[in-house]
Amino acid sequence: MRTALETMLTMQDRMNTRVHPEWIDQRFEWYRAIWIECGELMDHVGYKWWKQQSPDWEQVQLEVVDIWHFGLSALFEPNSTIPDLAARVELELYHAEPETDDVRLATEALASHSLQHQSFSIPLFLQLMLASGLDFDGLYRQYVGKNVLNFFRQDHGYKDGSYIKVWQGREDNEHLSELLQTLDTEAPSFPEDVYAGLQARYPS
């Protein structure tokens, strides 16, 4: 777990640095992005008792992964080191005791904490992650995949509008999901393998 956490924290730092070189000093409102993502997650679970709704668990889990991106970002301080952050997260995950497996209640708990404390709660995130049907390995696989896809998009013209999102009749997210089922998540080269897999499929 420690190695996976260090990998994710390193990848998040790289992505944020690409957006703004001094991103840690900017003190962006990561907590705001977290509670808004919680609202988007709730749309995929369904909360409208006055109409027929069925949870879309794949989309729910994607929202959980998006929350994790913002949550990791919120943990960084000007003097943070990635090994220290990874150790802290591992400890909090290990000692967390989820109080509900209801994804709606877990989502509301995390959103409420974000609004009240303007920070990210690792124990409440774990509760939401488990309630959504994700385990840590699943979180790691999907996080790395989405992070690499974001970099891949940037490298291939996402910012100037030249990026091609649909390949062979399928969106890039679909290609990513298929790739993640074939790669070894425990390999040290997992992030690089994801990028190489996307590159091999991308239209030249």
DSSP 87-144: HHHHHHHHH-------HHHHHHHHHHHHHHHSS--HHHHHHHHHHTT--HHHHHHHHH
User: What integer pLDDT is reported at residue 180 of this predicted model?
Assistant: 86
Residue 13 has pLDDT above 90, yes or no: yes
> Check: CATH 3.40.50.300 for 1-134?
no
Q: What is the residue extent of each domain of the chain?
A: 1-134, 139-204
155-to-18, 193, 201 alpha-carbon distances in Å: 11, 16, 15
Work out the mean pLDDT of the chain and round it to a whole number: 90
42-to-35, 90, 199 alpha-carbon distances in Å: 11, 27, 33
Q: Kindly give, in sequence order, each residue whose CB lies less than 8 Å from that of residue 76, ignoring residues fewer than 6 positions away.
A: 13, 24, 85
161-203 residue pLDDT tens:
888 888 888 888 888 888 888 888 888 888 899 999 999 888 8
75-to-68, 89, 100 alpha-carbon distances in Å: 11, 9, 24
Would you give the DSSP letter of residue 170? Answer: E
Segment 35-42 mean pLDDT: 94
User: What integer pLDDT is reported at residue 154 of this predicted model?
Assistant: 86
């956490």: which residue's tokens? 5
Under 8 Å between Cβ of 125 and 71: yes
Q: Kindly give, in sequence order, each residue whose CB lies less than 8 Å from that of residue 146, ignoring residues fewer than 6 positions away.
A: 62, 65, 66, 69, 176
């303007």: which residue's tokens? 118
User: What integer pLDDT is reported at residue 181 of this predicted model?
Assistant: 85
Query: In the chain, how long is the greatest CA-to-CA distance?
Result: 50
Segment 60-69 mean pLDDT: 92
Tokens of 34: 């977290």
Under 8 Å between Cβ of 194 and 140: no
Percent of the chain that is helix, strand, coil (3-state, to 5): 65, 0, 30
